[in-house]
Structure 1
Amino acid sequence: MERAMSNLDAVEAHLLNLEPAADVLGQMPCLLRHVQCHLRPNDSRRQEFERLARRLGIGDSDGSAVATVEPDRAVQEQLVDEERRRIVTIVRAASSAALREQVRLRSFRNIVVATTVLMTLLAVGLAIIGLLYPALVPMCFVPEESGTAVVVCPNGQSQPFVPLSGNQLTDGQEIDAIVAATVRPADLLVIELVGMTAAAIAAAAAIRGLKGSSERYGLPVALAALKLPMGAITAFLGLLLLRGQFVPGLGALDTPAQIVAWALVFGYGQQLFTRLVDQQGQVVLETVRGADKRETGTSSD
């Protein structure tokens, strides 16, 4: 793709060498715009091209640099012939800069897409494990109150029971048996779906803050798609931390509805991580200057 685009730019530059001076003169406003879009204001090549444009009586689109006297047509064409090599060289440099911008954008988009695929495979793998081996990583909690315990899972809960032996090892084995009897194959799937739903809401809210882009690579869409599997993963990991009593006071959820509610919170919480990716994506988009984004600056004569 990059080689084909580079070859097209080379063909356009070669055509500028072959075209009559009158045709090149007619293209000068578009060429000036192209150079200003992709070369920085302090680039000596851009400054030289702007000076040449003013000598030809061509100003910026905002009218900030216009020649005071319109040169004669014959003089303009003679100047184009004299400066043709320089015109072609600078236009070729601007086209190369534009190609590098597109390559950076495409590379970042590919990284985001690859990460999305990996996160999706991980989320699907966890859901399959939950369906085949529901007791392997149960999303269940065992709150205790007044000596009575109950196993609470996303899709149901056990009957209240009282640990009989008072021995921690024996009670743990008893609780594990009740958890295995209470857990359901769809528990992990429910948690991930709720996390994805919350992530979809976060993606819709994040799109509102993204600036529009005319680039064809669809980076904003890729950034939004990344949030969905990330929401499923963060919902699972967040509940896993709660189950391991990583957060004091939140290790024993009382009802299935509370488990689902926390999955919703953790699914939306993926925004804490993907927000950094969104910011980097916006930076990459802003480096791609096109017809709707022209970097302005003052050039010295």
Structure 2
Amino acid sequence: MQDVAGEKAFSWRQRALAYIAELQSQLDGYDDGSAPARGAQRHLDAAREAAAGRASLRGAWSGLAVDRTWANINKVEVALLKLLPEAELPWWGSDVLARALQHLGPQDPRRTKLEEHLRGQDGKLSPQDRTLAVITLQAANIAAQQEKVRLRSFRNTILISTFVLIAVAAALLVVGAIHPHAINLCFDDPKAGPACPIGLTPTAWDVAIVELIGLSAASLVGAIGLRHIHGTSAPYTLPIVLALLKLPAGAVSAVIGLMLIQARFVPGLSDLDSRAQILGWAAIFGAAQQLITRLVDEQGQNVLSNVRDASRGVGRAAEATNPD
């Protein structure tokens, strides 16, 4: 028995393993020793192995375990639909139609045709429509996989952007520590005299304290913005990644903002004349990153809204695919 203390802590693994167990019980009841049944069992074993396997950073980045698990689960679902005896077939009509409504567009001919047939049969699937149901279920499953791929691609893009901003913030920090005058965040007001983030002359800690203030302001604004973020059952923690992006963005924007004031690129702002003003503007610029990352948040919510599953409900899924 594998050590599952950390491996199965991911909720998607738990859900997948529970669903695999359900599919196994169904397959056991329909297993007639035929080639389709044996093939379904191989796919089920592969899905179980992928869901219970050891997690890794490479797997989390590529989504290999997620894709392998659900691709094999989908194959088993299609195989079960083919193996079902005719007496039990009618009750699968609503399940296949729900999957089609969730993942296929309203103009998809397979979805449209299946709807028409089930509407005329009181929602029950007839043996004559088994092939249509199989084709529709396969198409819906492929669409569902593509939704998860798009979500993972967007999440990876945000992660790369976050790492780049972290590298930029670290570079500014190192340069400021080694050469305090290279990134001079001090101001010299003719009346009040010189003012720096720390003391009256440039120090190795000026950039560090400004980045800390900017990061703190960004985290505060990000915490307030969490009220607009909805959770997701998808296997990728996009809301958390979006929140992390704000931290290095706040640190960098605080330094860049003070440099713009010093260069007089900000109309209406003169030289700052006290340490409190410098740190106050650092906090303002750190919080101002929300103006840019808010657009990323909106795009993230759009991507999440396009990942549909049974928990979303058919009504909401239909609205997403047909906004008219």
Q: TM-score, normalised by structure 2?
A: 0.73
Unaligned runs of 5+ in 1: 59-75, 158-181
Determine which structure has greater relative contact order: mean sequence separation of CA pairs < 8 Å that are 6+ residues apart, divided by chain length: 1
- Give the partner amino acid of 1:223: L
Query: Could you say which residue in structure 1 is the equivalent of 2:317?
Result: 294
* Contact 1:13 1:91 (C-alpha < 8 Å) held by counterparts: yes
- Of 174, 179, 184, the match for 2:203: 184
Partner of 1:100: 146
Equivalent of residue 153 in structure 1, options 175, 187, 196: 196
| 1:32 CA drift (Å) | 2.0
Name which one, 1 or 2, has greater alpha-carbon Rg.
1
Aligned mates of 1:226, 1:247 — CA distance in 2: 25
Counterpart of 2:271, as a letter, is A
2:183 and 2:227 mapped to 1: Cα distance? 37
Give how far 1:21 is off.
2.2
Q: 1:179-221 CA distances to partner (integer Å, 9 max, x unpaired)? A: xxx2121110110011011111121122212233322211111
* One-letter identity of the residue aligned with 1:154: P
Bigger shift: residues 116-125 or 240-249: 240-249
> Which whole-Å deviations, capped at 9, do the CAs of 1:146-188 have from their partners, x for residues lacking one?
xxx622100112xxxxxxxxxxxxxxxxxxxxxxxx2121110
Structure-1-length-normalised TM-score: 0.78
Deviation of the 1:120 alpha carbon: 1.0
Equivalent pairs: percent with the same residue?
Answer: 40
1:213 corresponds to which of 232, 242, 252? 232
Partner Cα separation in structure 1 for residue 246 and residue 267 of structure 2: 28
Post-superposition Cα deviations, 1:94-144, rounded to whole Å, max 9, x if no partner, equal 111111111111100110011111111211221122222222212101110
Whether 2:80 is the aligned partner of 1:15: answer yes
Distance 1:263 1:272, change over 3 A: same
Which of 139, 148, 157 matches 2:185? 139
Runs of 4+ residues deviating >4 angstroms: none
CA distance in 1, matches of 2:76, 2:231: 31
Q: Tell me whether 1:238 sits opposite 2:257 in the alignment.
A: yes
Structure-to-structure mapping, 1:1-301, within 5 angstroms: 1=64, 2=67, 5-58=70-123, 80-145=126-191, 150-157=193-200, 182-291=201-310, 292=312, 293-296=316-319
Q: 3-state SS of the aligned residue for 2:186? A: coil
Verify the 8 A CA contact 1:210 1:220 in the aligned structure 2: yes
Residue type of the partner of 1:202?
Answer: V
Alignment length, in residue pairs?
253
Q: Distance in 1 between matches of 2:319 and 2:159?
A: 33
Q: Which structure shows the higher helix fraction?
A: 2
Q: What secondary structure, in the 3-state scheme, does the structure 2 residue paired with 1:94 have? A: helix
User: Would the aligned equivalents of 1:289 and 1:295 in 2 still touch at CA under 8 Å?
Assistant: no
Q: Is 1:36–1:296's contact at 8 Å kept on the other side of the alignment?
A: no
The answer to whether the 8 A contact 1:242-1:251 is kept is yes
The change in CA–CA distance for 1:183 and 1:5 in structure 2 (over 3 A counts) is: same
Deviation of residue 231 (structure 1)? 0.4
What is the match of residue 72 of structure 1? Answer: none
- Comparing 10-19 with 99-108, greater Cα deviation is found at 10-19
Cα separation, 2, equivalents of 1:276 and 1:249: 27
**Aligned-partner SS, 1:151:** strand
SS in 1 for 2:70: helix
